[in-house]
Structure formats: structure tokens, C-alpha cells
Structure 1
Amino acid sequence: MTHTPKHIVAAAAYVTNDQGQVLLVKTYHRQDTWELPGGQVEEGETLEEAVIREVEEESGIVMAITGVSGVYQNTQSGVMVIMFVGKMMSGQLRTSEETQAVQFVDPSPEVFEKLITRPHFLSRTLDAFSGHLVPFRAAWPCTAAERPSQ
């Protein structure tokens, strides 16, 4: 029996500027909270392409990826989020069709707890703030000869 996957894959980013401040956005869709920028991975797009696109679309900021801080699954909505960490490379803060406000904030648990009111967004942000990264590989060897021995 074949089942169509029902999961949505999304990518978000904890982006810092040269002063160490963290990029947050407030969307029209979720006006009750600030959050890290991100969104759904589009068909044919890599995770990296998706997060770079989403950050620039939502905030005007061009980022470079430096790592991954976690993978999160919302079992109610079926959304799987890969949380990237990155540095601002260029751009100017600006709002978009999706965002009503964008800002860089000085990072601390207290600041995040005040601005990020949704618990699952807050936990992802605090995990990224901790600085711990998880392994991430964009491609895996395809042939048996290329696979590492178990």
C-alpha cells in the first residue's frame, strides 16, 4: 500500500550580525510572537537554498550558513523544521509581504522569553543560542563502495 507523505519540511535560521545580535521577525500570520525567520522548503530546493531564500525574503538579509542546531517535529501539524545557524553577509533590514516587523536583538534568554511567546519557537531559539551544533551532511554517498563501513 502506498501512502502520500503528509509532512511539511521547513527551514529556519538563527542569524547573527557582526555585533552578535540575532535576527527576529514578526509575521502577519503569527502576530502574537517574534520568531526566527524561515519557512517551507519548496519543491526542487535544497534545505540550504530554502533557508537562505526565506531569510532574505522575510528580512532583506543575506546569510551564510555556519551549522545546524537542531531538527524539530510538530506532531500535530506534521511540520519538520531544520534549524540552521548563520551569519549576516549583506543586506538591509526590511519588511516583506509576510513580515510586519524585523529587528536585530541582543541575545539572552531573558530577551528571547520576552519577545518569543510561543513555546516551540522559544525552545528552538534557546537551543541555537546555546551554541551546540549537530552533524549535517547535504549529500550522502550513493554507491555501496562509497558508504562507510558499519
Structure 2
Amino acid sequence: MTDTPKHSVSVAGIVIRDDGRILAIQRRDNQHWEPPGGVLELDETFEAGVRREVREETGVEVEVERLTGVYKNLARGVVAIVFRCHPLSGAATSTDEAGQIDWLSVDEITQHMTPAYSVRVTDALVGGPFARAHDGIDLLQDHR
């Protein structure tokens, strides 16, 4: 019998202020800019995980609005479930995981983030939900 593949499930929040600026973090471990998020814990719902991850990484409390996409990193076996969020309270502050935190424009997002992460933001702005695969950096085309 073959082993069943193991996947990690993560959640992320695309947090959008009323002025259209989007919350982004620069991770301390790899210096990459990404939306705040992380591994979903076994005992929490998707929405609770998004609220926890955004709060832990940025100090910002959010209201989860809707699912905007599901993204799979084929190289690492990580499935990310992404939600559009609205900030409720809290000042964005650097944390153990996020060296820098900023509210960026869409243009700044596409300049700072790799395509595998910036698409999560642009997808959240236009609707969805979307289902996409990537190699950790670039999106992959669907081969049927």
C-alpha cells in the first residue's frame, strides 16, 4: 500500500482598509513580503485561524468577510486558504514573525511580492473564489 501524501493547511488574510491599502508583512525568516497568515491549528475553524494569524503577526484585529481563493504550493505540499478581511482595531506593529509591516497599494503589492503571493491579493480584489497552483514563486498553468 502506498503512503498517503501529507499536506499542510494554512490560512491567510487579505486585510483591506477603507482607503484600499492592503496589510502586508515582510517575514523575518526569509525577508519575503506576503499577506499575514500561517498554519491552521487542528482545533480551530478557518475564520478563527485567520483572525489569530493576522493578530499574531501584525497586532491587527480583523473581521473575516469571505473566502477568496485556495492556493497550492506543489513544491512544498502546502494548501493555503485565503480570506478577504476588514481591519477592526489595533495598530500594525512588528512581531517575532514579521520584521516589517506596512499598508501597501496594489502596485506596491505586485512590486514587493512574488506572483504566488501577489495573486492572492489581486484575486481578493476582484471576486472569486479562485483555485490556483504554484511552485513557491510563479503560478502554474492548469494542465488537463
Question: TM-score scaled to structure 2, two decimals?
Answer: 0.83
Q: Which deviations, in whole Å up to 9, do the C-alpha atoms of 1:44-97 show, x marking residues without a partner?
A: 111111111000000010000111111011111010000100100011111111
RMSD: 1.7
Higher strand share: 2
2:109 corresponds to which letter in structure 1? F
Which residue of 126, 129, 148 maps to 2:122?
A: 126
Deviation at 1:2, TM superposition (A): 7.9
2:47 corresponds to which letter in structure 1? E
Q: Tell me, which stretches of 5 or more residues in structure 1 are unaligned? A: 136-150
- Higher radius of gyration, 1 or 2: 1
Q: 1:27-106 residue pairs with structure 2 within 5 A?
A: 27-31=27-31, 33-106=32-105
Aligned residues: 130
Separation of aligned partners in 2, 1:52 and 1:5: 28
Deviation at 1:134, TM superposition (A): 2.8
Moved segments of 4+, more than 3 Å: 1-5
Deviation at 1:43, TM superposition (A): 1.7
1:80 corresponds to which letter in structure 2? V
**2:21 matched to 1:24?**
no
Deviation at 1:128, TM superposition (A): 1.5
